[in-house]
């Protein structure tokens, strides 16, 4: 049976349709991001995870979102330029999406139901909430914004 996570599509920053099914068999780290947030330096840690584990099967995908304090005001070109220039980001970045509410991207509607947060709360509370998906497409963990990417090395290694 195919995992529900593989039914979702998103647009890359370059406007290309991307299917999560293309990453079947990989470990996914899906993160809602923002360029003007106190957690923005986590881009460096996410890039480090990408560099360290991509050859073993990790795919990091950032989903810029402007829902929290309007901390991602830029367009796709500005977001991409900022991430490359300031943090050397080479992992996949999506077009800006919403992660909560009626207009939330279907992927994030699924992720928040599959891995609720503290006390069973589904909505994402802030930028840089991280979802870890195993090679079979099962959502294995949800990490709070304050969890640094370096703290995910062990859980990622265990799934690779």
To 10 degrees, the CA torsion angle through 70, 68, 101, 129? 140
Q: Is 65 a catalytic residue?
A: no
How far apart CA 10 and CA 65 sit, in angstroms, is 13
Radius of gyration of the chain (CA): 14
How far apart CA 113 and CA 122 sit, in angstroms, is 6
3-state secondary structure of 45: helix
The active-site residue out of 13, 34, 37, 49 is 37
Q: Which residues are catalytic?
A: 37
């Amino acid at each position: 049976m195919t995992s529900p996570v593989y039914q979702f599509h998103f647009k890359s920053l370059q406007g290309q349709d991307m299917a999560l099914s293309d990453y079947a068999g990989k470990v996914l780290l899906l993160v809602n991001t923002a360029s003007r947030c106190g957690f923005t330096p986590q881009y460096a840690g996410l890039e480090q995870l990408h560099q360290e584990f991509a050859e073993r099967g990790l795919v990091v995908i950032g989903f810029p979102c402007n829902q929290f304090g309007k901390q991602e005001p830029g367009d796709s070109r500005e977001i991409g330029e900022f991430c490359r220039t300031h943090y050397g980001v080479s992992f996949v970045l999506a077009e800006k999406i919403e992660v909560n509410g009626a207009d939330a991207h279907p992927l994030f509607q699924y992720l928040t139901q599959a891995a609720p947060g503290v006390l069973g709360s589904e909505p994402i509370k802030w930028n840089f909430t991280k979802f870890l998906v195993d090679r079979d497409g099962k959502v294995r963990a949800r990490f709070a914004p304050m969890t640094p990417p370096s703290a995910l090395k062990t859980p990622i290694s265990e799934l690779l």
